[in-house]
Amino acid sequence: MSLRALSSVSRPFLLNSFKTALKPQQPKILSSMLYRNYTSGAVPAGLGQPDMTKGPLYRYDTALPKLPVPTLAETCARYLKSVRPLLDDKEFAETTAAVQEFQKPGGVGEELQQRLLAKANDPKTVNWLEDWWNDLAYFGYRDPVVIYVSYFYAYRDDRLRKKPTQRAAAIIQAAMDFRRQVVDESLAPEMAKKSPLDSSTYKYMFNACRYPAKPSDFELAFDPAQNNHVAVVRHNQFYVFDLIKDGKMLSTADIEVQLDAIVKLAGDRKDPALGALTSDNRDIWTETRKTLINAGSQNEELLRKIESSVFLLCLDDSSPVTRDEVSRACWHGDGRNRFFDKSLQFIVFENGKAGFMGEHSTMDGTPTCRLNDYVCTTLAQNKIDHGSATVSSALETPKKLNFAFNTAVHKAIETSEKNFDELIGKHGLYVQNYEGYGKGLIKKFKCSPDAYVQMVIQLAYFKMHGVSNPTYESAQVRKFQHGRTETCRTVSTESVAWVKAMEDHNVPAGEKTALFKKALDSHVSYMANALEGKGVDRHLLGLRLSLKSNENKPAMFTQEVFSRSCHWNLSTSQLSGEQFDGYGWGEVVPDGYGVAYMINENNLSFNVAALNEMRPDRLHHYLKESASDMRQLFEQTLLEAPKSKL
């Protein structure tokens, strides 16, 4: 996923005044993938006292420990170990000398560490990384959010709802049921084993929007009690209608009628593509938003209707069929029938296929994965109350947002459309839905499924490029207050030895397997440390940012290997759901790949996105080949022989 931006701009809190609209209801246990998120248990020792004045969702947030600052020694040692496979002996000796100079007693490293500890230990600091990370990784990042920051989920088909407005209405109903639990705080917090995870970002899930600004964007969340309208875009035309009337949620039948009305009102004519403006460079969009507002006295108020809506529903007129087509349509679509700053966009196509697009700035993938899994699973299991099948007689006609456009806005839209089309035209996306096996067989191999699939990716990349290059895997640190992610560096001395052995037909199967187990153990160990906030990358970022503007950078930070080691040729992450048919995002460096993967019981799914010149289609091929090679080997060496019956 994106490794890009955050802001120290103060943001309004989502107001909790929706409680009277609907009665609280406890969340249901859904798919096994998310079972841990819904399981509550005794609060582990070491947590502070929960705030019982809040609902289950938020009551543990202030009881969680704060993000730790690792010791200088452990980070330096871990850094050297992580760069060793990238360097020859001479380069490694030079790097070791620079690191030793950095961490020597009384040296600059110790001074920066003390500054960072002072920031972390300040009672006013909730999370020492938060303001820096949000600005550098998200809000301060100026390239387009679409493909570089945003991510998508593609849904499996709904056999009961082929008509697009019928499926869209059901999705809205299920999403609103989830929203109610967020707003009244009855939703259980996600859990990792028996520890609650930070829920603070749920405040920016619904009724929220990113805003373009220089030099850094910001996010606003709106009062859900005052904003119960959904925004719908069809043929680039934006409409809104209220989902709650007289304190009661509209039935699914009522919502479908409203959506049918929008499709009819929109007709076959397409309006100027206002949404395309949100697909452009953030500085360009900052200026064109001002141009748009100045073009009509009502334009800012109309924009606010989109921005403050519960979420955006995109009713596309395209009919993607294959996994590749559906994934691309969810990833970016035509760049016009969208509003890419909106935190949540549900997408339904003319043939009834559907998916989701998330804006990444204030929320990582796990909460929206939970939302989307809830939507898909509760609908599949018929656990949503759809209300009366009889359509209400007093529905108000959806209101079209009639923006005023002038020559300057038309020109800006034309430019943004051109920029979008050029960007998308340079990219390829391929979905490898590998059905040879899944989590079930990997567990029989007695392997960590995530570490195993990371090695599939490493082997595929090595087959294609003949070298191992820096690889990012997202590690969740939401066990800490306002925690988001840490980097797990996948490439290790052990992984490099293993991929080389796999491609050497002279190495015996037993030796290949032994090297694989070492590579797996190395990855599991690094991930375990990263989950405790003890990776390399976030700590080193904090140390670098603790330098004063008039101070020289230490040699360790100016070495070529320092930037090379975090030049993520592979940006990877796992989110899994049996109801999803795809999930992904774009590459984070021009010579790299975005590889999202799902590990389901009987299949592995890889979404490979990259510039066409990087031949993502070939990496897609090698992923399948690698998964098959590993199965063939490990069925010989890791499966226990069946016990004979007496």
Instruction: Indicate which residues carry an active-site annotation.
Output: 360
Nearest CA to 29 out of 19, 39, 20 is that of: 39
Contact yes or no for 145/210 (Cβ under 8 A)? yes
3-state DSSP call for residue 141? coil
45: Cβ contacts below 8 Å, ≥ 6 apart? none
DSSP 165-218: HHHHHHHHHHHHHHHHHHHTT-SPPPEETTEEPP-GGGGGTSSEEEE--SS--E
Instruction: Say if residues 364 and 201 touch (Cβ distance below 8 Å).
Output: yes
Which residue has tokens 């949620």? Answer: 249
Q: SS3 for 524?
A: helix
Reduced to 3 states (helix: H, G, I; strand: E, B; else coil), residue 50 is coil
Q: Which amino acid, 300? A: E
Measured between alpha carbons, how far is 464 from 321 in angstroms, rounded to an integer?
29
DSSP H or E segment with residue 452:
helix 449-465
Taking a C-beta distance cutoff of 8 angstroms, is the pair 524, 496 a contact?
no
- Quick check: helix, strand or coil at residue 517? helix
C-alpha to C-alpha distance for 430 and 610, rounded to whole angstroms: 9
What is the rounded CA–CA span in Å between residue 419 and residue 415? 6
Largest CA distance in the chain: 86
Q: What DSSP string runs through 549-583? A: TTSPPPHHHHSHHHHHTT--SEEEEE---TTEEEE
- Structure tokens given for 212: 């373009």
Tell how far CA 182 is from the center of its chain. Answer: 19
Contact (CB, 8 A) for 513 and 633? yes
Residue 377 · residue 170 · CB < 8 Å: no
DSSP 581-615: EEEE---SSTT-EEEEEEE-SS-EEEEEEEEGGG-
Between β-strands 151-155 and 580-584, what pairing exists: parallel, antiparallel or unpaired?
A: antiparallel
Q: Which two tokens stand for residue 176?
A: 């609103």
Dihedral angle sign, alpha carbons of residues 365, 220, 211, 271? positive
SS3 call for 572: strand
Tell me whether strands 229-234 and 218-221 are parallel, antiparallel or unpaired: unpaired
Determine the Cα–Cα distance for residues 171 and 349; give it in Å rounded to an integer: 13
Strand-strand pairing, 195-196 and 580-584: unpaired
CA dist., res. 250 & res. 390, Å (int): 11
Do residues 449 and 441 touch, judged by C-beta distance below 8 A? no
CA distances from 68 to 5, 75, 98, 398, 529 (A): 21, 12, 25, 50, 12
Q: Please state, in angstroms and rounded to a whole number, the distance separating the CA atoms of residues 346 and 354.
A: 8
Pairing of β 344-348 and β 229-234? unpaired
Position 229, amino acid? H
